[in-house]
Amino acid sequence: MGETLFTNVSVIDGTGAKPFDATVRVQGNRIMAVTPGGAVDGAGAEIVDGGGTTLMPGLTDAHAHLSFLDAATLGDINALSAERHILETAKNARKMLDHGFTSMFSGSSARDNLEVALRDAINAGDIPGPRLKAATRQMTVTGGFGDIGREDAYSLVLDGPEAFRKACRAAARAGVDTFKIVPSAMGSGSDPLAEDTAMSDDEVAAVCAVARQRNRMVAAHARSADAVKMCVRNGVQVIYHATLADEEAKDMLEARRDSVFVAPAMGLPYGRLTEGEKYGVSTDDFTRARAEKEIETVSATMADLRKRGIRVLPGGDYGFKWNPHGRNARDLHMFVELFGFTPLEAIQAATQAGGELMGEPGCLGVIAEGAFADLLLVDGDPTKDIAILQDPDRFLAIMKDGAFHKAPPENRAGQQVAAE
Ligand SMILES: [Zn+2]
């Protein structure tokens, strides 16, 4: 079994602990030893001399849409033929690894079965890609967000608990890991951030009941306060956006903080305001007002949730023209700039908490004995400048499951410790 020894590295272990100098030994797909200081006991191992660079766990994106092909509109998401669509999605999977993301929790697939096929091909080693929790299409209701009036759309429009139950059972049979639902819908009126609650309690309950029976996760696009509360009450584990969560909703999240995850997924409004021009996207006054208000409101909410000890995770709806795949690590920058996380806390959210979201607590997203060897060798110190994680050239090496996706440069690798 292949062994790799990372020497002379500053380790960010993902738990929130301060960086420390250590030697990290990988055997097969697992981390076998983390030895503080410079001790080397790696007879026969391949040496990677970090030269004082950083070794940290691979990143997790908690709200990914690998099959959204940087579309300009919701109607464009399924514009390609199914055949072309899956090939383009495979390219995105590779791109995620190139950018240091070794785990993706899907916030919905654009087509039924697409992510299941992708996940299985990645796990079989047929194509490169991150660990993937495969989702359903997003399940909405008539007139709800995502209902664009087309049968072949990226959303599945269902009404009534029976319809949701049947769709979830079919999805479980097909092998998805997570059911994605859309309980809230854009509201009307003068407030640009107005949100209605579109799904009913018995529909959410039906989804959660199938999930419990079949050991699946449920993730929800929940912006209105009522939608957040309805989700928490029924046992939804992953709350996206939580835009208008009120005190009662926040209290409910806090009471369930050991089993619930929140991902604000603010890449779309933030990307529109900060990078829209760069990608040739124009923004009308209403949309701009909505984006500005969302950033202000959600930033305050997430700062509060963080103080309450609720797991808030990066993952920002990447996959649109003005918020394209590859920009995902910008979320960590937003956590620091807008939500008051320290860089180390933002990294912990994207690594240790990400591993918990992926269903591998203590085993994924951390550098610890026995953990999976998903590792990034980073040129620089992201605790001093979190933005460096947005630059793929900073990743000197990228390892997933013990194998290099990106091998270290020649001047850092290739030596072997002679066997005694
Ligand atoms: Zn999304």
pLDDT exceeds 80 at position 41 = no
Q: How many CB atoms lie within 10 A of CB 245?
A: 28
**Percentage of the chain modeled with pLDDT above 90:** 90
Ligand 1 centroid distance, CA of 106 (Å): 9
Ligand 1 centre to CA of 110 (Å) is 11
Q: What is the pLDDT of residue 37?
A: 84
* Residue 418: pLDDT over 70: no
343-369 mean pLDDT = 98
pTM of the model: 0.96
- CATH for 3-58+362-416 is 2.30.40.10
Distance 64 CA to ligand 1 centre (A): 7
Measured in degrees and rounded to the nearest 5, phi and psi for residue 8 equal: 55, 45
Q: What would the pLDDT profile of 45-76 be if each residue is shown by its tens digit?
A: 999 999 999 999 999 999 999 999 999 888 89
- Are 347 and 332 in contact, with CB atoms under 8 Å apart? yes
Contact 225, 241 (CB under 8 A): no
Look at residue 403 and give its three-state secondary structure: strand
CA of 146 to the centre of ligand 1 (A): 10
CA dist 256 → 183, 238, 252, 300 (Å): 19, 11, 6, 20
Instruction: Pick the closest to residue 352 from 111, 14, 86, 41 (CA basis).
Output: 14
pLDDT value for 415: 54
Taking the centre of ligand 1 as the mean of its atom positions, its distance from the CA of residue 315, in whole angstroms, is: 9
Query: Which pLDDT value is given to residue 419?
Result: 44
- How many angstroms does the Cα of residue 218 sit away from the middle of ligand 1? 14
Give the closest residue to 113 by CA, choosing from 167, 151, 63, 164: 167
Radius of gyration of the chain (CA): 21
Residues 4-36 have pLDDT tens digits of: 999 999 999 999 999 999 999 999 999 999 999
pLDDT at 416: 55
Instruction: State whether CATH 3.20.20.140 applies to domain 59-328.
Output: yes
* pLDDT in the model for residue 97: 98
State in Å: Cα 30 to ligand 1 middle.
32
Q: Taking a C-beta distance cutoff of 8 angstroms, is the pair 13, 35 a contact?
A: no
Between the CA of 347 and the centroid of ligand 1 the distance, in Å, is 21
What pLDDT does 2 receive?
84
Lowest-pLDDT choice from 145-149, 168-172, 231-235, 314-318: 145-149
Phi and psi at 2, nearest 5°, equal: -65, 140
Residue 341 predicted with pLDDT over 80: yes
Average pLDDT over residues 147-162: 93
pLDDT band at 152 (very low <50, low <70, confident <90, very high): confident
Q: Where are the domains of the chain?
A: 3-58+362-416, 59-328
Q: What is the DSSP string of 59-105?
A: EEEEEE-TT--SBSSGGGTT-S-HHHHHHHHHHHHHHHHHTTEEEEE
Q: Tell me which residue of 409, 391, 372 sits closest to 102, measured CA to CA.
A: 372
User: 63 alpha carbon to ligand 1 midpoint, in Å?
Assistant: 6
Quote the mean pLDDT of the chain. Answer: 95
Region 291-304: what's the mean pLDDT? Answer: 96
Q: What DSSP assignment string belongs to 344-367?
A: HHHHHHHTHHHHHHTT-TTTSSS-
Which pLDDT score, from 0 to 100, does residue 412 have?
75
Residue 420's pLDDT is 39
* pLDDT at site 151: 82
Long-range contacts of 270-276 (CB under 8 A, 24+ apart): 270/295, 270/316, 270/323, 270/330, 270/334, 271/316, 271/320, 271/322, 271/323, 271/327, 271/330, 272/322, 272/323, 275/322, 275/323, 275/327, 276/322
pLDDT at residue 159 is higher than 80: yes
Question: How many Å lie between the centroid of ligand 1 and the Cα of residue 65?
Answer: 7
Per-residue model confidence (pLDDT) at position 1: 61
H helix runs in 267-318, sequence order: 267-275, 285-307
- Supply the pLDDT for residue 58: 98
